Amino acid sequence: MIRKKLIAGNWKMNKTSADAVSLAHGVVVAVGTQSNVEVVICPPFTALEGVAGAVDGSLVKLGAQNMHFEASGAFTGEVSAPMLRALFVTHVILGHSERRALFGESDELVNKKVLSALKNQLRPILCVGESLAEREAGSTLKLVQTQLERALEGVSKDLAAGIIIAYEPVWAIGTGKVATTEQAQEVHGFIRGLLAKLYGEPAAQRVRILYGGSMKPANAAELLAQKDIDGGLIGGASLEVRSFVDLIKAATEVP
Ligand code: PGA
């Protein structure tokens, strides 16, 4: 298998810096020296520096949950790619459905962020996914295609393989309603097919496509066993050491 499984924790707006450091320590200890699965944790901005210290020298990598596309300037309240890099951040979640729905992020904006992240050697975890209304209207694949094509505009073939895609059906996020393995695999396979059209089959085979949306230790093994599901972007279940580590274990055990 050329694609190493990846488990990423999206802590969203949770954890003070002290609580974040303690959770990060727990993850670091549990991960230890196992390197079969790549592990990324994405705390809020205020905890990045503390968590960078906690994961230093371990196999756990550090991600941010968002960033601005400009390097610096008059953008009150925003944080840039070079600022993240200076804190040893390696990954950044972009285009999360909460950013799109609650903060008005368009595909064009997400595209600018993707290009800026790549320019600054940050690995984007690019989120796409349909709402319940879009699924019920039968437009899931079309919507995912539009989001993906627009977000990847101007991304070269060389850089494309380094991007991580997260398919997160909006109706499954934080709701306890997980997509069935068939629903998830269908979209993951479709995304890989699209990547193959855009960048060629070898590059498409290298891209990790994560599933996100109520992934838990109880449902992870089945999802992770699907051919095109290369890991998970985990919200709720990443907020406690036990459940997050059980998810990592599930990924380690995938045949
Ligand atoms: P959830 O969130 O695991 O709590 O459903 C996933 C996400 O939003 O990334």
Task: Provide the 3-class DSSP secondary structure of residue 128.
Answer: strand
Which H or E element spans position 25? Answer: helix 17-31
Residue 110 binned pLDDT confidence (cut-offs 50, 70, 90): very high
Strand, coil or helix: what is 178? coil
Query: How many angstroms is it from 164 CA to the middle of ligand 1?
Result: 16
**Secondary structure of residue 100 in the 3-state scheme:** helix
| Pocket residues: Cβ below 6 A from ligand 1 | 10, 168, 173-174, 212-215, 233-237
Q: What is the percent of the chain where pLDDT is above 70? A: 100
Instruction: Give pLDDT tens digits for 18-60.
Output: 999 999 999 999 999 988 999 999 999 999 999 999 999 999 9
Contact between 61 and 90 under an 8 Å Cβ cutoff? The reply is yes
Percent residues over pLDDT 90 in the chain: 95
Q: What is the pTM assigned to this prediction?
A: 0.97
Q: How far is CA 112 from the centre of its chain?
A: 17
Q: Is the pLDDT of residue 190 over 60?
A: yes
- Chain CA centroid to CA 159, Å: 17
List the structure tokens of 111.
């595209």
Mean pLDDT value across residues 218-238: 97
Report, as an integer, the average pLDDT of 178-195: 96
Q: Yes or no: say if 8 and 37 are a contact pair by the CB < 8 Å rule.
A: no
State the Cα–Cα distance between residues 59 and 31, nearest whole angstrom.
Answer: 7
Residue 34 has what pLDDT? 86
Q: Are strands 91-94 and 60-64 parallel, antiparallel or unpaired?
A: parallel
* Contact call for residues 43 and 244 (beta carbons, < 8 A): no
Question: Is 186 one of the catalytic residues?
Answer: no
**Domain of residue 9, residue span:** 5-252
How many CB atoms sit inside 10 A of residue 117's CB?
A: 26
Q: What is the mean pLDDT of the chain?
A: 96
CATH of the domain at 10: 3.20.20.70
Would you say residue 165 has pLDDT above 80?
A: yes
Q: Which pLDDT does position 255 carry in this prediction?
A: 79
Contact assessment for residue 197 and residue 155, using Cβ atoms and an 8 Å cutoff: no
Total number of domains constituting the chain: 1
Task: Report the pLDDT value the prediction gives residue 178, as an integer from 0 to 100.
Answer: 86
**Res 11 pLDDT > 90:** yes
d(CA 74, ligand 1 centre) in Å: 31
Q: Please tell me which residue in 96, 105, 130, 188 is annotated as part of the active site.
A: 96
Question: In this model, does residue 122 exceed pLDDT 60?
Answer: yes
Q: Look up 96 and say whether it is catalytic.
A: yes
Rounded to 5 degrees, φ, ψ at 45 are -50, -40
Q: How far is the CA of 12 from the centre of ligand 1 (A)?
A: 9
Give the integer Cα–Cα distance in Å for 230 and 5: 5
Q: What would the two tokens of residue 220 be?
A: 């992870």
CA distance 14 to 7: 18
pLDDT of residue 1: 52
- Which atom of ligand 1 sits closest to the CA of residue 234? 3
Tokens of 194: 């699209």
Q: How far is CA 151 from the centre of its chain?
A: 14
